[in-house]
Every structure is written in C-alpha cells, then in structure tokens.
Structure 1
Amino acid sequence: MKKRAPHKGPARGKSSAPSRSGKAGPAGRLRIIGGRFKRRLLTVIEAPGLRPTPDRVRETLYNWLGFHVGGARVLDLFAGSGALGLEALSREAAQVTFVERESRVARALADNITTLSNEGPLPATVITADVIHWLQSGTPPEEGVDLVLLDPPFRLGLAAESCELLESRGWLKDGAMIYLEVEAELTPQVPANWQLHRESRAGDSHGRLYRRQQPA
C-alpha cells in the first residue's frame, strides 16, 4: 500500500500512522496480478490514507524479484491493505507476516486472507502492532527472513529507523532482499551492507530494492 498524504498522515495505502477521524465511504477493490490468485478481486475498506499499491508498481517489483519469492519467508511492514504481501502469498511464499498498526485495517486484511483460504490454508499471519515497537521487541526467526516489503507512511521519518532495526535486531538472513518505498525527494539512509539492486520512480514515490550482504 502506498502513502501520498502530507506531513501528518499516512498516504497511499499504508495506514500505520495514527488515523484521522472520518466516516467510512464505499469500499474499493484490489486485484492480485500474479501467481495462484491472479485476477482475484478483494475488498479494500475506506480508511484515511489507505489505497493499494498500483498494479504497475507491484508488477515491476515482482519482475525484479523473480524466483526469489517462492519458498521465501516474508515480512510486509506497514502493511495497509497488504497488496505487496498478498502478491508474495500468491506466488507461493513459505510464510508472509503482515504488520499493521490500525486494527480496523488489519482486520480487513485478515478477512481477505480468510477469503483466499477457502481454497486451502495459507501461511499468513496478520499482527496488529506498531512496526517500530514490533521490530524492537519481537523475536526474529532463527534463520532470518528472505524478503522485506517496507512501505512506511511518507514524511514521518520511519524509513531509516525501520531499516536500522531490521539490520541491528537480526531480522535478515544473508542475501535477503529489502524493498523500500519512500517519498521521491528522500534519499533513504540504509545500512552500509545493503547493496542497491534496482530502483524505479512512480509519481511522488521512489522504490528501491536492496540485497543484504554479510557485514564486513
């Protein structure tokens, strides 16, 4: 999900910043673009700052990732509608953990996973939590994760801290891929052992895919 909001709110589809009050409007739709659930349509609730990552951005990212997704352990942080992580789930990721602060948004994401699970259980977990606190206090899997989808609300200073915690707290295995999307004007601070693999601009956002190397 993306964020296009001004300084005080989440923007495009990530809603882990505090929401502003407002009545819910008509629901939107999310289309999965690849994998076993290709073309499936899911409901996206109306919530401040929430809208799915566009199809073309997801398609570009998963073209970059290629065969890295199948069998991967995945974190979708600031998950919002879960559009990025649902694509990984559709492409046979071994486990996808979604972390989303806003409880109503997290429940809607869990409902969509339940809908997809009608064809059989899926290796997905939705955690309602603040991402920074969860990274600080959580216990990383012993083997580390293979892929992180990191799309924090824009202009709230969350990108650098999230990246630092992923590295310092031992969440990542050697060779892990990290997709980071930030506002176009920001040059993100990432750990020195993250090597830039691909990057692309779309509107007011800049997506970068990094590969983690073993620290020297």
Structure 2
Amino acid sequence: MSYVHDEMTARRQLVEVSRLCYNRGYISGTEGNFSIRLSKTVILTTPRGVCKGRINESELVLTDLDGQPVDSTASLPSTELKMHLAAYRSRVDINAVVHCHPTVAVGFTVAGKSLSTPILPEVVCTMGNIPVAPYATPSTDEVVESIEALLKTHDALMLDHHGALCLGKDIWDAFYKLETVEHQAQTLLVAHLLGGPQPLSQGQVKSLLAIRSVYGLTNELDVDYLTGAASSDGVSKE
C-alpha cells in the first residue's frame, strides 16, 4: 500500500481539491468534506464549519482512525468524517475520500432517477454502476450503515437526497471520479430532455468490462446493472 507520506504535499493537495470543488459548484457555503490517509493510523481532513473555497492548509486537521484529533487544540473535523473512516476500514486500496453535493447528480436522487444507465463507455469501464444508498440522516451512524455494503465494490456512490461519495487511490483520483459522476448525470439529463437515453447494449457493456485490465483496473466492480443495458434489438431491459 502506498500513502502520501509528505504531510505538506497532502495539505496542499487537499486545499487545491477543496477549492476546485467549491469553484466548480460541487459544494456551496461550508458544505463538503475531504480527507487523505497519511499512514495506517493518521488521516488528514477538512474541519467542520469552514468554506472550502477559502480554506487554507493550516486549518486542516490530523485525526486517528476513530476520528479523534491528534492535537487536542486543533479544530474539530467534519461531522461527516464517519463516512471517510468507513471507506478506509473497508478498502486498503483507498487513500482519499471526497464528499460533495454536485447539483445534477443529487437532483437525480431527489427525482428518484437512476444514474446507473450504461451510456458512457468510460463510466462503464472505470466505475461500473453508480448506486444510491438509502436516505440516512447526515452526520449520523445511519449514513455509515447505509453505505457499508456498497463500499467494497464501488468507488463512487450517491447518498439519497444528499450528495456523492467518491473514493480514490489518492485525492486526485477521488476528485476525477466526482467529476465523472456529475458528467454522467449531466449527460443523462440531456438525454432525458431529448426523448430518453439509449443505453449501450449488453454485449457492448460486457466488452467494456473485459478490457478493464488494459487500463490497469483490477478492483472488483458491482456490474449488476447489465440488466439495465439494451438488448441486441436496442430495447432497454430496465
């Protein structure tokens, strides 16, 4: 397992990604939380109640794997750090977590619409489906319970009426997955406005999954959404 051993580099990266997410409208106000696993026992994360568009490196918080600040005089970490810790416990290959509220993707959960329709080859190949965890009260253990079963086979998932949770080998990997989730949502929205999406066929989806190793992608994926692909006659099986 490889960690970001240089804490100062990790602080710079965390601030850069936090500001990017704010500037791109993935979060507003003091929303969102971000973290990097520095070692087996230490997490670097964003504090609670701070606008991520204005955050600086000195405000970031070091915690243990129970979410307790390493420095008792430091700011408190986000109340949603529980989600991040659950991801780290579940996946040894994950070293960074991003949680934001991208408008279109969240809108799909509010409307009760699936984001898992296989329409974009890149999403099929790198992510598989993008599930929606059942609604849970933010910042509570309910959220952890709602996502635990999904974490092992998903690098990106939606929290119903809430936001997106993206996991990565590093903070940039997690950020790129967040971008991909919102891109999938925007593309699906346009397709719905134009008469409805035409999914990739089951054969096309299977072919994409078969070439994952070419891109160095070996993590397990939940690919149950094959049933949502179109049959050979182009008719969706959803």
TM-score by length of 2: 0.30
Query: Going by fraction, where is helix more abundant, 1 or 2?
Result: 2
- Structure whose alpha-carbon radius of gyration is higher: 2
Query: Going by fraction, where is strand more abundant, 1 or 2?
Result: 1
